[in-house]
């Protein structure tokens, strides 16, 4: 099977959770699956910007990204976070290749049109999965940071959930799994929803049952399903150990997002 795993939040920050995530990813790959990892690093970026005396701003879960913020994001995402993940996978014996979306022109971006303007925030306009497939052919796990190169030659900050969705679509993945620091999608009663239809997302957003960073995440889930990805699940990072059984067993943790 082909898996795209999006890793972010506490899964990148907490050493114990990170170890569990990379072991599960390595186990998936050793079982003969083709696995690609897409990562964020927003918490690390926010801290680095604060160290530089720059305050972070967000609109509907998306970071306002001026040129200076974009340059720092490229340094943090494609540098520190990406190479730390490659090292963590290597430590458990799994070869991995760290790349940005701009490498090999894998992911091309265009500026996201928003009101207010978010600066160097982009959306994926074109993909070339051959580079990912080449890494798979050599037994590696591609580790992809959420930056993509625009047709104007500028790098754009891409929401990592949107990047993971575009990656899963381009690779014709069987499954897209978001490893997160939340237990799943909570309904109006505060309970985690085990199943969520994409038809419910708009109403939940309208009534503010979902907000903030969950908005782009569920939008990414919806796009992936509508573009042919077979399964999409939001899974707490602490339950990453279930990943090797994802296709063969019933999983109780997290929220399964479905077309209907």
Residue whose entry in the numeric block shows the structure tokens 């500028």: 154
**Which two structure tokens, joined as six digits, stand for 45?**
């970026």
Q: Residues forming the annotated binding site?
A: 41-42, 63, 157
CB 231 within 8 A of CB 243: no
Report the C-alpha gap between 3 and 57 in whole angstroms.
32
- Which DSSP symbol is given to 115? S
What's the CA gap between 223 and 259, in Å, rounded?
10
Provide the 10 A C-beta neighbour count for residue 113: 9
Q: Identify which of 107, 115, 201 has the alpha carbon closest to the alpha carbon of residue 155.
A: 107
Q: Which residues are annotated as a binding site for substrate?
A: 41-42, 63, 157
Start-to-end Cα distance in the chain: 23
The encoded tokens of residue 226 equal: 């509508």
| Cα–Cα dist 41/24, whole Å | 20
C-alpha–C-alpha distance, residues 166 and 34, integer Å: 16
């Amino acid at each position: 099977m082909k898996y795209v795993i999006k890793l972010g939040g506490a899964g990148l920050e907490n050493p114990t959770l990170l170890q569990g995530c990379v072991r599960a990813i390595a186990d998936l790959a050793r079982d003969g699956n083709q696995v690609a990892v897409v990562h964020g690093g927003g918490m690390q970026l926010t801290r680095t910007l604060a160290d530089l005396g720059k305050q972070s701003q967000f609109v509907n879960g998306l970071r306002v990204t001026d040129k200076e913020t974009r340059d720092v994001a490229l340094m943090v995402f494609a540098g520190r976070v990406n190479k730390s993940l490659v090292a963590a996978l290597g430590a458990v014996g799994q070869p991995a290749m760290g790349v940005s979306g701009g490498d090999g022109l894998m992911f091309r971006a265009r500026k996201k049109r928003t009101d207010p303007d978010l600066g160097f925030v982009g959306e994926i306009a074109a993909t070339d999965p051959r580079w990912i497939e080449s890494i798979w052919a050599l037994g590696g796990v591609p580790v992809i940071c959420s930056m993509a190169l625009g047709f104007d030659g500028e790098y754009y900050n891409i929401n990592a959930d949107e990047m993971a969705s575009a990656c899963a679509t381009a690779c014709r993945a069987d499954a897209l799994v978001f490893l997160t620091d939340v237990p799943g999608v909570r309904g109006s009663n505060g309970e985690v929803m085990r199943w969520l239809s994409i038809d419910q997302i708009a109403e939940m957003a309208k009534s503010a049952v979902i907000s903030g960073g969950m908005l782009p995440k569920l939008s990414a889930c919806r796009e992936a399903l509508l573009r042919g990805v077979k399964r999409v699940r939001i899974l707490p990072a602490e339950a990453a150990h279930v990943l090797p059984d994802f296709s063969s067993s019933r999983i109780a943790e997290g929220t399964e997002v479905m077309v209907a």
